[in-house]
Structure 1
Amino acid sequence: MSRPKTPLAELLKPLARSLRESRRQPPPATPAPPPEDDHSVFMRAVAGTEPLNHPLPYPHPPAEQSPHPRQRQRDEGLVMHDAMTDRWPWDEIESGEELLYLRAGQKLDTLKKLRRGHWVVQAQLDLHGLNTDEARAAVGGFLHRCVQADQRCVRIIHGKGLGSRNKEPVLKNKLRNWLVQRDEVLAFCQARPVDGGAGAAIVLLRGRRGA
């Protein structure tokens, strides 16, 4: 006795069930590519370009300025150091021991007032203990600072030379030579006895605006 034949539809049911289940499952995730580093991104961006044979003319960044202008301080200390010589023709100065000078174009009354102590002394420089080079630099820096501060009448103590080898006022004569070479000096004279007498000079300076 032969078995009954199974219909084809019954035979295909397991296959159909398997196909339906496979459709319900999500496909396996594709792994993401690793992230590119900055170098790789840059190289891909410049692919095909040619490098330059010379650097680009980028301007140099400005140098930072020091809060303490050391060079300016040194310059002020040596202002006109080389320009002030120890010898000068005395066309504009009276002869004699007394320091006395009036720049050309200034009124004679200006010198008279200076000798009488008409103006108040606003600053002072003492040259005691300095040699010639040190004194020259000190005088240059002092006059420069006084003009910047608009100090018009100043006193420079040069001494009477009592401590020098020949008992002569060496710095007194050199100071006279230095002062007449400075454009900011309008006049100078020997100080009054109360202000130092023969050991000091009173100097009248030009104002910052040239007055």
Structure 2
Amino acid sequence: MSEFLRAESFDGAHDDVDFKAMMGDVQPLRQANNRADAGRRRGAPTESQLARRRHALSGDDGLDGLSDDFVDLVPPFDPLEYRRDGIQTGVVERLRQGGYPVQASLHLLRRPLHECRGSLPQFIRDAYAADLRSVLIVHGRSREIDGAANVLRSCLAKWLPALDEVQAFVSAQEADGGLGATWVMLRKSERARAANRERQQKRRG
């Protein structure tokens, strides 16, 4: 999940730091250990790889409905909020307040719109395959309605509901990035649902 980055700063202050100077004499890990799935059995596909394979076989690249044409621009100081039918308002409010952990975050600051459009569905699919529920998208904000960051924010308001894994999303509080970041709640994966049913059956004896 290469797009998974911990949210540390939402103002882009570190973007201009020279990467090579920052890394200094750091040596790369040996190839065998330089993987998040190094402990996984060799040759066994990850959940993310299986999801990508299913999309490839179906001819679905995950970008259906993620057009940047005819996007209604959201006023720059209006927060984003969306929830599917059946999702309680209390869940959205808790999400808004940062009541769920940042399990993964996607940083889209100053990235081209077409690149953001391609990165978003893969990030959401990877998070869903890893049984994550609460993720944060950092996109920045603009004071002008047609500013680049506000155009991206408006596109996210259109794109996120088109992704089946998304149950709700809402603009973050200032401590988590304010209008420059959006919390997203994902639905439980089938694997997580099965594990939950198993736990409930064990409790019942």
Q: Could you state the TM-score of these two structures normalised by the residue count of structure 1?
A: 0.56
Is residue 134–residue 185 contact of structure 2 (8 Å, CA) maintained in 1?
yes
Question: In the alignment, does 2:84 pair up with 1:99?
Answer: no
The percent of aligned pairs where both chains have the same amino acid is 32
Q: Deviations over 1:7-32 (max 9, x none)?
A: xxxxxxxxxxxxxxxxxxxxxxxxxx
Matches within 5 A, 1:66-105: 75=52, 79-86=61-68, 97-105=78-86
* 2:78 match: secondary structure: coil
Question: In the alignment, does 2:159 pair up with 1:206?
Answer: no
Q: Taking structure 1 as reference, are residues 136 and 119 closer, same or farther at Cα in structure 2, changes over 3 Å only?
A: same
Residue 168 of structure 1: how far off its partner (Å): 5.7
Query: Corresponding residue for 1:129?
Result: 110
Question: In the alignment, does 2:116 pair up with 1:141?
Answer: no
**Equivalent residue for 1:184, pick from 132, 155, 165:** 165
Query: Corresponding residue for 2:30?
Result: none
Alignment RMSD, CA only?
3.5
How many residue pairs match? The answer is 139
Residue 129 of structure 1: how far off its partner (Å): 2.8
CA distance in structure 2 between the partners assigned to 1:99 and 1:163 by the alignment:
16
Q: Taking structure 1 as reference, are residues 127 and 164 closer, same or farther at Cα in structure 2, changes over 3 Å only?
A: farther
Q: Deviations over 1:66-101 (max 9, x none)?
A: 9598xx59x5899412332336899xxxxx811101
Query: Corresponding residue for 1:120?
Result: 101
- Partner amino acid for 2:65? A
Unaligned runs of 5+ in 1: 1-65, 91-95
Query: Corresponding residue for 1:171?
Result: 152
* 2:140 match: secondary structure: coil
Query: Corresponding residue for 2:136?
Result: 155
Is residue 79–residue 144 contact of structure 1 (8 Å, CA) maintained in 2?
no
Q: Deviations over 1:85-120 (max 9, x none)?
A: 336899xxxxx8111011112112111111122111
Q: Taking structure 1 as reference, are residues 141 and 163 closer, same or farther at Cα in structure 2, changes over 3 Å only?
A: farther
